[in-house]
Structure 1
Amino acid sequence: MKIDAYSHILPAPYFARMRELAVDRRSFKRWLELPALHDIDARLRMMDEFGDGYQQVLTLSSPPVELLAGPGDSAALARLANTSMRELCDRHPGRFPAFVAALPMNDPDATAVELAHALDDLGARGVQLFTNVGGRPLDDPEFGPVFAEMARRDLPVWLHPTRGAAFADYAAENSSAYEIWWALGWPYETSAAMARLVFSGLLERHPDLKIITHHMGAMIPYLEGRIGLGWSDQLGSRTAGEEYERLRRARLPRRPLEYFRRFYADTALSGSAIGTRCGLDFFGADHVLFGTDCPFDPEGGPLYIRETIRVIDDLDVTETERERIYHRTVRRLMRLD
C-alpha cells in the first residue's frame, strides 16, 4: 500500500467556479495544462500505472480560497471545494480514502463553521492551511482557534506555501524574476511559517498538534546547525531593541530546535534523493510521509509519483520504516482504518 499524503486536485465544479472568479485568466495557464488536476477520468488513468495499492489523500490545489474570494464569498467557495472532494472520495473510495478540508481563512466566523461542517458532516480527516493569509502570519491571534481546534480533535494540519510573482526578490523591483518566487520563495515561506509557529509558543501551548509540512519541511532540515547553534542558542544577540532572549525563555522551556522536529514532513521533493535523506535524518521515519505533489510535474502527474517511489525504495531503512513512510503514519494521523 502507498498512500500519497500530499496530492493536489481541483474538482470539476470547484474549478469551474474558480475560473469564473479569476480576474486574470492568464493566471490559469499552468492549471489548464494539467488535465489530471481537474479531469477525474484523466487522473484515474494516470493512477492506474501504480497499481491498486496506490491511493491519494485529496488536498485542494493552490491558490488559497481567500485569494480567490473576499470574506463575503470565500465560505461558499470552501464549501463547494469540500463537498466536491467528498463526492470524489465517495465515488472512488479505493483511490481516494480521504480528503483534507479547505477553509475560508479570511472570514474567522465562517472558518469555524466550515471546519466543523467539513470534519463532522463531510468526514474530512484534516485541514489545509497556507503559510500566510493575505500577507498575515499564521501566528496571528486570529488564527489561533483553528490550531486549538485541530489539536483538540487530534487531526493534522497540512501546511502549504503560498507566494506569487508580485513578491519581488529585491526592494528596488516590482516583481520576482525567473520564477524565484516559486523555486526559492516557497521553501522560504514554509520555513518562515514554521519558525513563527515555534517562536510564538504555539507548539508549546499545543504539544500534541500535528502539522504536515509540504516539501520535506523546506529549508529546515538542511539548516539544522544554523537553526540550532546559530539561531536558537543565540536568539536576540543580533537585534537591538528586541528582547527576544527573554521572550524565548518565557515561551519555550525547551530548545527551539526540538520544536522544529515536532513537525511532520512529506517526501514531495520532485524526486530528490539527497533532500529526502536529509529530511529523514532530521525528522525521523515516524514523522515522514509519502507525498508526491501530483500532478505538477513535466508529465502532468505520473513522473513525480514514479520518482518519489524510486527514491523511497532506495532508502537505507528497514522495511518497517518504509511502511511507516508509505502508509502507516498517515493512516495513524488521520485515524483511518
Structure 2
Amino acid sequence: MERRSFLQGMLAVSGLLGSAGLTELAAAQQSAEAQAGKTGKIIDAYCHFSSMKLIDFLEETSKQRPHVFRDLFANTPSLINADKRFELMDECGIDISVLVPLPWLETSPPVYADPTLCATAAKLFNDEVAEIVNVHSNRMMGVALLPTTTPEIMVAELERAVRDLHFVGGFFVVGPTVKPPDHPDYEFLYQKAVELDVPLWVHPSRPAIYPDYVGEKMSEYQIWQTLSWLMDSSAAMVRLVFHGVYDRYPNLKLIIHHHGALIPLFAQRMQYGWDYFEQNTGKKQNTTISSPYIEHFKNFYCDTATQGKAPLLLQMTHDFFGSDRLLFGSDAPMDATSGRAFTMDARASVDGMTISEEDRQKIFSENALKLLRRG
C-alpha cells in the first residue's frame, strides 16, 4: 500500500484525527516528501525508545504495581518494538533515530534510592537497547539511561555505555521532585561527559502526583506535562547557567528538549527582569558569570520538538540559539498516532522556517553528525 494512503487509513480507523486533521497531516507528509530530495539525510536526534523489561524489573523490585508508565508504553508499539520503530521511520522519511530513554529511574523511588538496584536497572535497559542499535547501527544510535543516585554509579554507567556499548551520550531528568541539575553530584557527570566528548540529553520529569497548588493531591488537567515540563526544563537551564557550568566546562554539550523550552520566547523579558531588580535593589544575582546573563543560554543545544506544526516557534528558537545549535528532534513516538504526527509536524515546522537551505540541512542532519560520535 502506498505509504501516505496507509497513514491516512490508520488514523481514520483509529479515530485519532478528524478529517481536518487528516488533511493537515497528509499535506505535511507531501511537503516533507517533496523536501526530502533537497535535504538528504534526516536524523531524529531526540526521539524515545523504552523497554517493558525495565517496567517489569521496576515493578518487581519496588513492589509497586502497576508502574506509572505501563499502560502508556504497552499501548505505543513503536516505543517498545524495534520493527515497529523501523516502520515509523520509513513512513516518515527518517534515516537515523537517536533513541533517548524512558522511563527515568526516579519514577520508582525504592529502586532509585538503592544504588545497587538503580545501577542494575540502568544496565538492564542499556544492554537491551545496545543489542538493537549495534545490530542496526546504520539506522539507530543509543543514549544511556543514567542511574543518578550517586556520582560513582552515574559516571561508571556513562563511561561503560560510551566505551563498551558504543552509545553516543547519556540522559538525565530535571524537575521539582528530583535532584537539581546544579547539585554537586552532577559535577562529576559534567566532567565525565566533557572527557568522553559526548552530549547529555536533558528531559523534564515532573510527575502527575506533584500538585499545581498547595493543598491539592494531584496535578489537574495534565498541567504537569503540557505546561509544567516546559517550565521545568527552563528552570534547569537557569540553574545551570547561573551555577557557571559553562564557565567551568566550555565544551559541555547539553541538549534541551522541546525547542529550548521557554527561553527563546522570553529571553528579553528575563534579561530585563534581571537588570531591573539588580539596578533597583542593589543586589546582584548569586553568580560569578558575566552579564548580560542571557548570552550564556546560547551554549545549550536544543531540538525541534514543538508537538505541533509551529515554524514560527522554531524560527524564534533558531534566531536565539543559532543554526549550529538546533537539532532535528520529533519527540516521537509520544503521540496518539505512535509518532507519525509528531514526526511529520516536526518536519513541516523545519520546512516552514525562513532560513537558508544550508541552515535547514544543518538542522536536519549536519549538526547531529558533528555532535554525535560512537564510542
With normalisation by structure 1, the TM-score equals 0.91
Choose which of 293, 297, 301 in structure 2 pairs with 1:256.
293
How far did 1:89 drift? 0.8
Kindly indicate whether the alpha-carbon contact (under 8 Å) linking 1:66 and 1:133 is maintained by their aligned counterparts in 2. no
What is the rounded CA distance, in whole Å, between the counterparts of 1:42 and 1:244 in structure 2? 55
Q: Is the 8 A contact 1:159 1:211 kept in 2?
A: yes
Q: Please give the root-mean-square deviation of Cα atoms over the aligned residues, in Å.
A: 2.1
Q: How many residues were matched structurally? A: 328
Instruction: Indicate the residue corresponding to 2:81 in structure 1.
Output: 39
Residue 60 of structure 1, aligned match among 101, 106, 120? 101
Q: Does 1:166 align with 2:166?
A: no
For residues 15-164 of structure 1, the aligned pairs below 5 Å read 15-21=55-61, 23-25=64-66, 27=68, 28-51=70-93, 54-62=95-103, 64-68=104-108, 69-70=111-112, 71=114, 72-96=116-140, 98-132=141-175, 134-164=177-207
Letter in 2 for 1:108: P
Identity across matched positions, percent: 32
1:119–1:126 CA contact under 8 A, matched in 2: yes
CA distance in 2, matches of 1:169, 1:126: 33
What is the alpha-carbon distance in structure 1 between the residues aligned to residue 250 and residue 269 of structure 2?
24
Aligned equivalent of 1:14:
54
Task: Go from structure 1 to structure 2 and tell me whether the alpha carbon gap of 1:91 and 1:238 turns closer, same or farther (over 3 Å shift).
Answer: farther
Q: Say which SS state the counterpart of residue 92 (structure 2) adopts.
A: coil
The reply on whether 1:311 has 2:349 as its aligned counterpart is yes
Find the residue that maps to 2:299 and give its secondary structure: coil
User: 1:317 & 1:224 partners in 2: Cα distance?
Assistant: 21
Cα distance in structure 2, aligned partners of 1:77 and 1:236: 46
Whether 2:363 is the aligned partner of 1:325: answer: yes
Q: 2:306 aligns with which of 269, 273, 287?
A: 269
Which residues of structure 2 form unaligned runs of 5+? 1-40
DSSP 3-state at the match of 2:273: helix
Distance 1:161 1:49, change over 3 A: same
Is the counterpart of residue 245 in structure 1 residue 284 in structure 2? Answer: yes
Q: Which amino acid is 1:247 matched to?
A: N
Distance across 2 between alignment mates of 1:76 and 1:200 = 31
Give 1:212's aligned residue. Answer: 255
CA offset at residue 317 of structure 1? 1.2
Distance, in Å, in 2 between the alignment partners of 1:73 and 1:112 is: 16
SS in 2 for 1:76: helix
Contact 1:67/1:134 (CA < 8 Å) preserved in 2? Answer: no
Q: SS in structure 1 opposite 2:99?
A: strand
Q: Are residue 4 (structure 1) and residue 44 (structure 2) matched?
A: yes
For 1:55, give the aligned amino acid: I
Distance 1:320 1:122, change over 3 A: same
Q: Give the secondary structure class of the aligned counterpart of 1:7.
A: strand
Distance 1:238 1:45, change over 3 A: farther
CA positional deviation for 1:294: 0.6
Q: Return the TM-score normalized by structure 2.
A: 0.82
Equivalent residue letter for 2:202 = L
* Partner Cα separation in structure 2 for residue 236 and residue 177 of structure 1: 36
Cα shift at 1:5: 0.4
Change over 3 Å in CA distance of 1:13–1:175 after alignment to 2:
closer
Shift of 1:228: 1.4
1:282-301 to structure 2, matched below 5 A, reads 282-301=320-339
**Contact between 2:54 and 2:125, CA under 8 Å: does it hold in 1?**
yes
Contact kept in structure 2, 1:75 and 1:107, CA below 8 Å: no
Q: Which has the larger radius of gyration?
A: 2
| Kept after mapping to 1: 8 A contact 2:55/2:67 | no
